[in-house]
Amino acid sequence: MSVQPILSVTELKKTFPDGTRALRGVSLDVMPGEFLVMIGSSGAGKSTFLRCINHLFEPTGGRIVYDGRDISKVSGAKLRRLRRELGMIFQGYNLVKRLSTIENVLLGRLGYMSSISGALGLYTKQDRERAVELLIRVGLGEQRFKRADQLSGGQQQRVGIARAIAQNARLVLADEPIASLDPKASDTVMSYLHEVTREENITCIVNLHQVDYAKRFADRIIGLKDGEITFIGKPEEVTDKVIRDLYGEKGDQVDE
């Protein structure tokens, strides 16, 4: 019996009100457990693609099938249930700075709680134990009670990883997770993201500028240019020509 894609996108389009065509018919199958990296210059459509998957942006056209369900047009309670399964890691971390590290991880459980329980922070013992376990796994066990705004950028991003995993997400979407980090922090964040999603058998789609990190961690690499896929292949198939085609002769990717 053949394995079916966990995500199947067909002719996905997104045109913004100002007329910008960010996606021009993107089609892509993503397999369960795959660590997929999308590369391309700024404005290529990478972030728009991820945000259309979880409906932070509403697609203009095309079809999105997740886990056998057509999610091209979802709203209300169905969208809330869907987002429980789609973890999102943001370039800007998106943490609640005044809350502690562990409380930020526990926010990943809100989709499973009533609004009253969530507002009062009535997390279960199991949720709290899981949050501590995840923080230990991303190297932040000793920082669990520190306020989020007291953490470095790399540490904040690792909290974001733990929060996404705490959701019991089956698919994690990471939008330029290391764009604001120095090389050492970037290496740490990518290593933890790859390791934890592998261990949990979670599918992961990561947008990156840094081609060297894409080659190091990806199972497959997708090249996006002007809202269209121009390359799909394994890391070893990303040649200098592929990079020039994506980024231009000089190349604007950051290889650190």
Nearest Cα to Cα of residue 177 among 195, 189, 163, 166: 189
Q: For the full predicted model, state whether its pTM sits above 0.75.
A: yes
pLDDT for res 256: 33
SS3 30: strand
Q: What percentage of the chain's residues is helix, strand, coil (to nearest 5)?
A: 40, 25, 35
pLDDT for res 248: 83
Cβ atoms of 223 and 39 closer than 8 Å = yes
pLDDT for res 80: 86
| Averaged pLDDT, 22-47 | 96
The phi and psi torsions of 221 (rounded to 5 degrees) equal -120, 135
Cβ neighbours of 75 (radius 10 Å): 10
The string of pLDDT tens digits covering residues 131-146 is: 999 999 999 999 999 9
CA distances 132 to 25, 137, 145, 192, 209, Å, are: 42, 9, 10, 16, 31
- pLDDT of residue 113 exceeding 70, the answer is no
Confidence of residue 119 (pLDDT cuts 50, 70, 90): low
Largest CA distance in the chain: 56
The DSSP code sequence of 89-128 is: E-TT----TTSBHHHHHHGGGGGGS-HHHHHHT---HHHH
d(CA 55, CA 83): 9
DSSP state for residue 5 in the 8-state scheme = P
Average of per-residue pLDDT values in the chain: 92
Domains of the chain are 7-247 (3.40.50.300)
Confidence of residue 1 (pLDDT cuts 50, 70, 90): low
The string of pLDDT tens digits covering residues 203-222 is: 999 999 889 999 999 999 99
- Measured in residues, the chain has a length of 256
d(CA 135, CA 192): 11
| Averaged pLDDT, 110-114 | 76
